[in-house]
Structure 1
Amino acid sequence: MVAPARSQLATALASVLLLAGALLIVWARGSLSVDESTPTPPSTKDHQTDRPTMLAIPEQRRSPARTIAEDLIAPPQLDPDQLERVEARPPLSDLGLAVPPKTPMPQDWREVLLYRPIATSSVTFEAMGRSLAISGVRGVDLDKICSFHDVAWPCGQRARAAFNSWLRGRALSCFVPPETERFAIAVPCRLGRQDAGAWLVSNGWATALPSGIYGKAEAVAKGAQMGIFGPPQ
């Protein structure tokens, strides 16, 4: 009779343990649930990034862009038949022509840099063992005396000094033959992007040859009374 009593006691104890476990599970679930009325704390991301938020504009409040002063800003309506093509405006003077027109050169002539040029007259200079003259212009003799309003002055010497002052020992880029000539030969030269002949004639320190390209520059110098056409300098 002892064995059945022990079996009943074990069964009752197991039932009690199962009931206690079930109650414990129910209590744990109730304690872990969050009350819906409790406000949730703000996220740390919102506190870290304190940036103003953009307000979304409703679609019905958006309006398309409109043109202001359409008659003033918009180009006028033109009839293509009324348009007329005209020739391009020529330059105001030869002073703006930095590079002279390209002229055919002998095939054996090459463009070289002549360093430390020294003017020997208003259009001639010596550099690196060469004696050269600026092409397309006629120089002023060193002993020439100019007169302006009955006032005489040595314009020949002043013209050479002006040429030297403009050079200031800077290298001239000239088209020269491969061999050095005994006498000075006329060659086209430029200082940087400025044509040497155009500078001399437009400033009145040389005159243009009849067959040259500096006729307009000489007219400008005469009108402005520059160089030999003006007062003593």
Structure 2
Amino acid sequence: MGAAEAQDVRVIAPGIVAPPPVASEALERVGPREPLSDLVAGAGMQSEKPDRLFKPVALAAGRMSVAGREIALASIEIIDAERVCDAGHGGTWPCGRHARTAFRLWLRGRALACHPADEEAGKGNAEMDVARCTVGGEDAAAWLVARGWALAAPGGPYEELEEEARAARRGIFGGGP
């Protein structure tokens, strides 16, 4: 390009870019095309995005309050905060409070990613939703059961984790602080 050709270009409005006017009658909405393969749809994976719940507060080990909603984790038996367990050396200890505190410390106000539980895992009611939740990619119910702070629901996916926690005497199975 020579100097003469560069002078032929004239800038009229450098900050304005606008599409040409189109009459709305000329536009037609069409449906989306079919996926190119099954991989696009995520075959075998959950297609729904989880609900993001911010600043959860642990009410018990496995039950949280988030923005006025109460959520219980699916496939576990929640240890109530007022539960008392037998101590290994005799007497009792407030295992429910210890379980709730451990869960609170683990949550630390991080966001929960929750999917509503299926019908087999448990049913919600007007006051409480039952869900499968993760925190930082880790299954919250599995975390509680593996550390002995919740019990696996009979026939649920966490029974082996409960057996390991019992054998290792973790959490409520440990006989006290």
State TM-score, norm by structure 1: 0.50
Partner of 1:201: 145
Q: CA deviation at 1:151?
A: 3.5
Partner of 1:95: none
Distance 1:134 1:176 in 2: 10
Q: Return the structure number with greater helix share.
A: 1
Aligned residues: 127
Distance 2:78 2:138 in 1: 18
Q: CA deviation at 1:141?
A: 1.8
Q: CA deviation at 1:183?
A: 1.4
Partner of 1:214: 158
Q: Flag the structure with more relative contact order, 1 or 2, with Cα contacts below 8 A and sequence separation at least 6.
A: 2
Could you say what secondary structure the match of 1:120 adopts? strand
In the TM superposition, 1:216-231 aligns within 5 A as 216-231=160-175
Distance 2:91 2:148 in 1: 17
Distance 1:224 1:157 in 2: 20
Quick check: 1:141 aligned with 2:80? yes
Q: Return the structure number with greater strand share.
A: 2
For the Cα contact (< 8 Å) 2:133–2:139, is it kept in 1?
Answer: yes
Quick check: 1:121 aligned with 2:60? yes
Q: CA deviation at 1:140?
A: 1.0
Partner of 2:39: none
RMSD value, Cα: 2.4
Partner of 2:32: none
Superposed CA offset, 1:32-51 (max 9, x none): xxxxxxxxxxxxxxxxxxxx
Q: CA deviation at 1:104?
A: 9.6
Superposed CA offset, 1:72-127 (max 9, x none): xxxxxxxxxxxxxxxxxxxxxxxxxxxxxxx998x9x7511100000011110011
Could you say what secondary structure the match of 2:175 adopts? coil
Q: 1:160 aligns with which of 100, 115, 131?
A: 100
Could you say what secondary structure the match of 1:116 adopts? coil
5+ residue gaps, structure 1: 1-102
Quick check: 1:187 aligned with 2:131? yes
5+ residue gaps, structure 2: 1-43, 118-123
Superposed CA offset, 1:145-197 (max 9, x none): 111322310001111111111100000100149xx963112100011121101
Stretches of 4+ aligned residues off by more than 2 angstroms: none
For the Cα contact (< 8 Å) 1:148–1:229, is it kept in 2?
Answer: no
